[in-house]
Each structure stands twice: as C-alpha cells, then as structure tokens.
C-alpha cells in the first residue's frame, strides 16, 4: 500500500483533449481535475506528495473523515496548495483509481498467463480485481458514491477521456483473446465482448461495494458462480437456435451500451 501513487504520473493519463473535443458544447468553463501540464520537477513532486498523503489518510480514516486540512498539514503544504493541484477533494480519488486500474491489469495478466480456459481466465481477472481493491474496501463505499454522480468526471461511464476504463477493457480483450474460445466466435462478437465483460466487472464492483461479509467472501462466491455461467452463455451463442436472440443482444449493446461508455458504434 505504501507504493500507491509512488510513480506519480501522467503514465497514460491525459493526452490532448483540452484543445478540442468534448469541451466545446459542454458546460461552460468547467474546471478540469488539475493543471494541464507540470512545468517543473518540484511541481510534480509536490503533486505526488499530496496524492500519496491523501491516499494514506484515506486508508487510515476513510474518505469523509479525512479533511483537506489534514491532508495539507500532513503533507506539509497549505490547503490552497492542495487545491492548486487537485481542484476538488474528489479528484484525489481519480489518481487513486487510475493507479489501481493499472495495478489490477498487471496482476491479472500475470495470474492468468498459465491457462487458456476462458472461464478460468475471466474468473482470475475478476478475483484479481477483488484482491487489488481489498485494502480500500472500507472507504470504497464513500468513493463509490462520488463515482455514481453523472456530472462527476469520476463516473466509470461517459465523460470522455478517463483512460482507466480503456485499460480495463483492454485487459478483458486479452482475457478473451488469450483463450481457446476466441477463435470459435465470430469477429463481431469478439469486438463487442470486452466491453460487456467490463460491464460484468462493474456489476461485481457494485456487489462488492455493498458486501459486508468477512473478506467480501460473498462477492467472491458470486464471482465463482456467475463466471462459469457467463462463459456458458457466450459459448452457447455459437449455436443456431440462439442466432436471433444473439443478434438482438448484439444490436442492443452496439446501439445503447457502447455509445454510453464513449464508443462510437461499430458501423
């Protein structure tokens, strides 16, 4: 946990969506999470220091109980300075979220390398998320509340940019592509599935957030049970009987789900 946000950085974070893109017709002069580009090393260090301190305090006391004043004091800066780097408290979560997504993807890749069984790979990917997120379960609830705000840039859906989602979807593409199932499916479905599997993860996350059992054992059981079923449904989709219903489902996903999470429908 100490290494969280240790590599401060722009990693794969923001590109150049400031100059054009979504900002045009949106709400006027909406403040972004932080400054566009750091000018100095020192700046970058301060930013990292604040983020690190915040993460530590969040874990120690929870999100709501950690005050901006406490973060600033503990980091040895002023409140105003913290706001210079993170334009609101919730943007501190953004850094945390990006980092965790990255860690999860790395861990899942490592763990599922040994098998080509789709169901197993999917389960590994999901369980890996639960393990990665475990230390933060306590304050995840409070942070989830923020993420559920459609106006917040923290929402897992929409709000252009947010490369964390792309990272996660990419992981699920690999879950599928690395399995023996992928070659058996038609190309269009292979194209669609990663996003659907990511949605599966979102459902698991939702379940996890509300899970009050020891070590979130209930969610883990849920994953163990739901994963083979998902695999079975996908597998069955190859058969003729299911053709029409699969077609409908694909249409629904293409027209209504993907656009919502910021993809243009496959033409």
- Residue ranges binding a second copy (CB under 8 A): 141-142, 144-152, 155, 157-158, 207, 209-210, 218, 221-222, 225-226, 229, 232-233, 236, 241, 245, 248-249, 251-252, 255-256, 260
Q: Which among DNA, a second copy, none contacts residue 146 (Cβ within 5 to 8 A by kind)? A: a second copy
Ranges of H-type helices in 134-186? 137-147, 163-177
Sign of the Cα pseudo-torsion (60, 66, 70, 72, in order):
positive
- Which CB sits closer to a second copy, 182 or 249? 249
CA angle in degrees (0–180, nearest 5) for 56-145-36: 65
Q: Which helix (H) or strand (E) holds 1?
A: none
CB of 149 to a second copy, least distance (A): 4
CB closer to DNA, 61 vs 111: 61
Angle (CA) 207-160-195 rounded to 5° is: 45
Give the shortest CB-252-to-a second copy separation in angstroms: 6
- Supply the minimum distance, in Å, between the C-beta of residue 259 and a second copy: 9
Residue 52 binding DNA, by CB under 7 A: no
Residue 74 and residue 59 in contact, taking contact as beta carbons nearer than 8 Å: no
Among 13, 14, 23, 43, binds DNA (CB under 7 A): 43
* Residue among 23 and 87 whose Cβ is closer to DNA: 87
Q: Any contact of residue 199 with DNA (CB under 7 A)?
A: no
- Beta strands per DSSP E along the chain: none
- For residue 190, what are its two tokens? 């292979």
> What part of residues 212-231 is at the interface with DNA (CB under 7 A)?
none
Please tell me the number of Cα atoms within 13 Å of 180 on its side-chain side.
6
- Compute the least distance from the CB of residue 43 to DNA, in Å: 2
Of 162, 146, 160, 144, the C-alpha closest to 90 is 146
Residue 84 interaction partner, one of a second copy, DNA, none, beta carbon < 5-8 Å per kind: DNA
- For DNA, the binding residues in 57-96 under the rule CB under 7 A are 64, 66-69, 77-81, 83-85, 87-90
Q: Which does 141 bind (CB under 5 to 8 A by kind): DNA, a second copy, none?
A: a second copy
The packing angle between helices 137-147 and 187-210, to 10°, is 120
Q: Which two tokens stand for residue 197?
A: 């599997």
Chain contacts with DNA (rule: CB under 7 A) = 35, 38-40, 42-43, 46, 64, 66-69, 77-81, 83-85, 87-90
């Amino acid at each position: 946990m100490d290494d969280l946000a240790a590599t401060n950085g722009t990693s794969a974070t923001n590109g150049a969506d400031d100059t054009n893109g979504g900002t045009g017709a949106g709400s006027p002069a909406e403040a972004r999470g932080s400054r566009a580009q750091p000018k100095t090393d020192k700046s970058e260090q301060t930013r990292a220091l604040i983020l690190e301190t915040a993460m530590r305090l969040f874990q120690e006391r929870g999100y709501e109980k950690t005050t901006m004043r406490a973060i600033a004091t503990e980091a040895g800066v002023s409140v105003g300075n913290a706001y210079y780097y993170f334009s609101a408290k919730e943007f501190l979560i953004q850094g945390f979220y990006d980092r965790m997504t990255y860690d999860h993807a790395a861990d899942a890749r490592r763990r599922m390398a040994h098998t080509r069984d789709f169901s197993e790979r999917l389960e590994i990917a999901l369980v890996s998320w639960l393990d990665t997120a475990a230390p933060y379960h306590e304050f995840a609830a409070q942070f989830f509340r923020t993420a559920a705000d459609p106006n917040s840039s923290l929402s897992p859906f929409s709000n252009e940019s947010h490369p964390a989602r792309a990272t996660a979807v990419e992981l699920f593409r690999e879950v599928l592509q690395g399995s023996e199932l992928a070659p058996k499916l038609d190309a269009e479905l292979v194209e669609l599935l990663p996003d659907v599997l990511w949605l599966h993860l979102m459902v698991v996350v939702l379940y996890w957030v509300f899970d009050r059992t020891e070590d979130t054992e209930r969610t883990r059981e849920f994953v163990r049970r739901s994963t083979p079923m998902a695999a079975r449904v996908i597998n069955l989709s190859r058969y003729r009987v299911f053709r029409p219903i699969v077609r409908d489902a694909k249409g629904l996903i293409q027209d209504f789900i993907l656009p919502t999470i910021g993809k243009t429908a496959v033409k």
